[in-house]
């Protein structure tokens, strides 16, 4: 399932982990709550967020249901209007991208 780890959006690479973090932030759900609501272990959620593991299709569906985003968004085939990365150059650092996501989520 490594083909899900890196996804393209408007020419900028966004990982499954980055999209999951964004969706969690937008939904106001932390790791513990997400683990509980999806019947996943806290360790599994942590690994998804660190980009060390990719969830099964069934788990992706559960994540999308709880976070109220589409499966397509999580795996990179759809987009959330708030997740617009067109303004970024392809060489943006992951840290800068996550900082921007946090900034948008704090509004």
pLDDT means per 10 residues, the chain with 107 residues, are 39 74 89 96 94 92 92 79 47 66 67
Task: Tell me the per-residue pLDDT of 10-33, one tens digit each, with 9 for 90 and over.
Answer: 444 578 888 898 889 888 899 999
Burial class (CB within 10 angstroms; exposed 0-12, middle 13-18, buried 19+) of 46:
middle
Backbone angles phi and psi of 70, in degrees to 5: -80, 155
Q: What is the pLDDT of residue 70?
A: 86
Q: What is the pLDDT of residue 74?
A: 87
Do residues 28 and 102 lie in contact, with contact meaning Cβ atoms separated by under 8 Å? no
Q: What is the pLDDT of residue 97?
A: 66
Provide the Cα torsion 93, 15, 23, 57; round to 10°. -170
Look at residue 94 and give its three-state secondary structure: helix
């Amino acid at each position: 399932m490594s083909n899900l780890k890196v996804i393209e959006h408007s020419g900028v690479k966004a990982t499954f982990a980055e999209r999951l973090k964004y969706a969690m932030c937008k939904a106001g759900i932390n790791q513990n709550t997400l683990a509980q609501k999806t019947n996943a272990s806290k360790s599994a959620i942590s690994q998804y967020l660190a980009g060390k593991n990719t969830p099964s299709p069934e788990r992706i569906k559960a994540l999308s249901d709880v976070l109220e985003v589409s499966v397509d968004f999580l795996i990179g085939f759809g987009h959330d209007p708030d997740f617009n990365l067109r303004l970024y150059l392809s060489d943006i650092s992951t840290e800068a991208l996550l900082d921007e996501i946090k900034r948008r989520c704090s509004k």
